Structure 1
Amino acid sequence: MHVPEGWKYQPIKYLCESIIDCVNKTAPVVEYETPYKMIRTTNVRYGKVDTHHVRYVKEKTYFNWIRRGAPRKGDVIFTREAPVGESGILDSEDSVFLGQRTMMYRSDPHVSNNLFLLYSLQTRFCQKQIENFSNGGTVAHMRVPDCGEIILRVPPLPEQHKIVQILSTWDKAIEKLECLITAKKKRKKALMQQLLTGKKRFVGFEGEWRKIELGKLLDYKQPTSFLVKSTKYSDEYPTPVLTAGKTFVLGRTNEDFGIYQEDLPVIIFDDFTTASKFVDFSFKAKSSAMKILTAKKGVSIKYIFEAMQILNHPIGGHQRHWISIYSNLIISLPKLEEQQKIAAILSAADKEIENHQKQLSTLKEQKKGLMQQLLTGKKRVKIDESEKMAAVKA
């Protein structure tokens, strides 16, 4: 394996001041907030450590569980199982400790940059090693000694700092856009609560709203004729295969029969979870538990979809919900013109969010490409003398 001039292959343990494993038993938690927080594997995702959605312990437990070492701001937290190989930078000064199946790397500032370690662990080069180390068991699991043996491609420290500086610029842009998307989603949700209940009305619209059952506004079709036969999907194929769940688009198929394309747009509805999606393009379905809902005459399907999103109805048991329960739920309904006006405003909000999400995807792809170039040395960064001196002094 070749590395650029001045770079070398090194196990991560030689780049760390310390590598600390968790206490390998579950800490007793309390049901109220304390200053002492447990980091679990679920808190480590996408290069970050979530210190907000955590479990809490008493002071005595905390000090018992940090006897091997307390995590501090700047440490890289790593998951050894469930899932294996996630890593994130601890960006908090809270009193946190390592929960089961987590460990941490503390970089040695004389030889490594902590964010350089984080970015390196996320590369395919390191992830492949992690996969190899964790093979052999029923559940993917990495031994603590092996966590120190992950090989990194390591440039001189000034170059590490420069690479981190460049990638951090993309991280900041990504984080800023993610915050904007979150704010836009909250704004739309607040708008829905006002517009879909009649609390806020547009000038020129008057008259009472009707209270009416969903089943009187929507017809439904079974998906049987539109179910995909083969799950050999490809991005090159023309027709999306949909689910009403979070995934939405499961893949794309080349099957040219049984494609749903009439009466668009429609709502697809998961009969078990009651999740729903608005669909305005041709598709095939994966699950027979899906209902395809179409609007009756004089009804805006987009308005009905948005009204369904603010219904607060508990899901009970593993049963089909549309016919027995959901079709009987009541929404507030203005006249068609007002429905269309509300739908248009909410569609505009959706479009704005969608555009920001496309921008976010572009930024993430750009960062991914940069990581491939910078962390392999295919693209070298220029280091001036002041940066070299700063690295030496550090």
Structure 2
Amino acid sequence: MGCNQIVPLRDCISLVIDYRGKTPKKLGQEWSSSGYRALSARNIKTGQIVQAENIHYGDSDLYHAWMKDEVQRGDILITSEAPFGQIYRWNSDEKIILSQRLFTVRPNSEICDSRYLYYWMCNSSFQEELKNRATGTTVVGLRQPELLKCSVVLPVMEIQLRIAELLGTIDAEITNLNQTNGHLYERFELAA
């Protein structure tokens, strides 16, 4: 590949996992009280998992009936609606169930670094294109074919890795500062 190519997202990935229409009832099963976490769009906010108290669980039978393709470390989760356009990079070996309104893409590691693609998908240019490709007025949503048309600026791998390393370092510093602020706030609350 040349220096900076602009390619559609579909050229940067090796797999799309899209089980948005599945439910336990459609598979003849029910949620359970433990087992595999089932993440939905309501649990993804860019860069974090939220509303942990609302996460459903599926047992082994449900997991194997549902997840024909498994989410792997480095895959990128994208909310398709409600909320729309949130991005999360899966950085775990935990097996999860993909529930409502959630796509997952697997970067093609030969041409695209997972961390770089995650940061690209979080940037305002990509987010604006997502919005422009979405449909709906009351609930804005994105269909898979439109997601795969979104543009990615793809520099050579060496540059992707440097960008990902730099942005990862900044993210780690932000996380540390937020944790420090949380501890200071707790101390202040206790002292008051």
Quickly name the TM-score band, shorter chain normalised. 0.7 to 0.9
Seen in structure 2, the aligned counterparts of structure 1 residues 115 and 79 have a Cα distance that, compared at 3 Å, is same
Q: Find 1:18's aligned residue among 8, 12, 15.
A: 15
Q: Is the 8 A contact 2:58 2:97 kept in 1?
A: no
Which residue matches 1:58? 59
Partner residue in 1 for 2:27: none
Provide closer, same or farther for how the CA distance between residues 45 and 171 of structure 1 changes in structure 2, counting only shifts above 3 A. Answer: same
**Partners of 2:126 and 2:152 within 8 A in 1:** yes
Q: CA deviation at 1:50?
A: 5.0
Please give the alpha-carbon distance, in whole angstroms, between the structure 2 residues aligned to 1:72 and 1:185. 36
TM-score where L is the length of structure 2? 0.88
Quote the offset at 1:61 in angstroms.
0.8
Give the deviation of 1:23 after TM superposition: 4.3
Match of 1:243 in 2: none
Q: Which residue of 2 aligns with 1:351?
A: none
Provide Cα deviations, 1:210-264, integer angstroms capped at 9, x if missing partner. Answer: xxxxxxxxxxxxxxxxxxxxxxxxxxxxxxxxxxxxxxxxxxxxxxxxxxxxxxx
Identity among equivalent positions (%) equals: 23
Matched position secondary structure for 1:148 = helix
- 1:1-394 alignment runs, 5 A limit: 6-27=3-24, 28-30=30-32, 32-34=33-35, 36-49=36-49, 52-53=52-53, 54-67=55-68, 69-189=69-189, 191=190, 345-346=191-192
Shift of 1:52: 4.7
Number of residue pairs aligned between Structure 1 and Structure 2: 185
Rounded Cα–Cα distance in structure 2 between residues aligned with 1:50 and 1:70: 21
Aligned-pair distance for 1:181? 2.3
Q: Distance in 1 between matches of 2:40 and 2:154?
A: 29
Verify the 8 A CA contact 1:81 1:140 in the aligned structure 2: yes
Distance in 2 (CA, whole Å) between partners of 1:65 and 1:139 is 26
Q: Which runs of 5+ in 1 are unaligned?
A: 192-344, 347-394
Question: 1:157 and 1:85 mapped to 2: Cα distance?
Answer: 25
Q: Distance in 2 between matches of 1:29 and 1:20?
A: 21
CA deviations 1:161-200 (Å, max 9, x no partner) are 00011111101101111222233334444x2xxxxxxxxx
TM-score, with structure 1 as normaliser: 0.44
**What SS is found at the alignment partner of 2:3?**
coil
Moved more, 99-108 or 14-23: 14-23
- Comparing both chains, which one has the higher relative contact order based on Cα–Cα distances under 8 Å and sequence gaps of 6 or more? 2
SS of alignment partner, residue 14 of structure 2: strand
**Whole-Å Cα distance in 2 between the matches of residues 64 and 50 of structure 1?**
26
1:124 is displaced (CA, Å) by 1.6
What is the CA-CA distance between 1:100 and the residue it aligns to? Answer: 1.1
| Unmatched tracts of structure 2, length 5 or more | 25-29
Q: Kindly name which structure, 1 or 2, has the bigger radius of gyration based on alpha carbons.
A: 1
Change (3 A) 1:50 1:108: farther
> For the residues of structure 1 that align with 2:163 and 2:76, how far apart are their CA atoms?
17
Question: Following TM superposition, by how much is the alpha carbon of 1:49 offset from its aligned partner in structure 2, in angstroms?
Answer: 3.6
Whole-angstrom CA distance in 2 between matches of 1:176 and 1:76: 23
Distance 1:73 1:124, change over 3 A: same
